[in-house]
């Protein structure tokens, strides 16, 4: 399954807007949080969204 980068950014920004305090700069924690907060079934998509959130918070 492939996902467009725009969709990853859209979903990541949406999650950060709604649950900013839930996420940290730790990828493993963000991975679990993305899985709990969304209906993403694909591991690859979940990891890409968690990675985007992690990079955004480390800036």
CA atoms within 13 A on the CB side of 55: 10
At 54 the pLDDT is 97
pLDDT tens digits, one per residue of 2-44: 789 999 999 999 999 999 999 999 999 999 999 999 998 899 9
Does the predicted model carry a pTM greater than 0.85? Answer: yes
Confidence of residue 58 (pLDDT cuts 50, 70, 90): very high
- Token code pair at residue 52: 């985007």
From the CB of residue 35, how many other CB atoms can be counted at a distance below 10 Å? 16
At 1 the pLDDT is 59
- Token code pair at residue 19: 């649950």
Assess contact for 12 and 52: CB atoms under 8 A: yes
pLDDT tens digits, one per residue of 45-57: 999 999 999 999 9
């Amino acid at each position: 399954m492939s996902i467009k980068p725009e969709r990853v950014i859209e979903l990541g920004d949406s999650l950060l807007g709604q649950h900013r305090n839930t996420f940290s700069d730790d990828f493993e924690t963000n991975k679990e949080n993305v899985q709990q907060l969304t209906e993403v079934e694909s591991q690859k998509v979940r990891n890409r969204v968690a990675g985007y959130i992690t990079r955004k918070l480390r800036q």
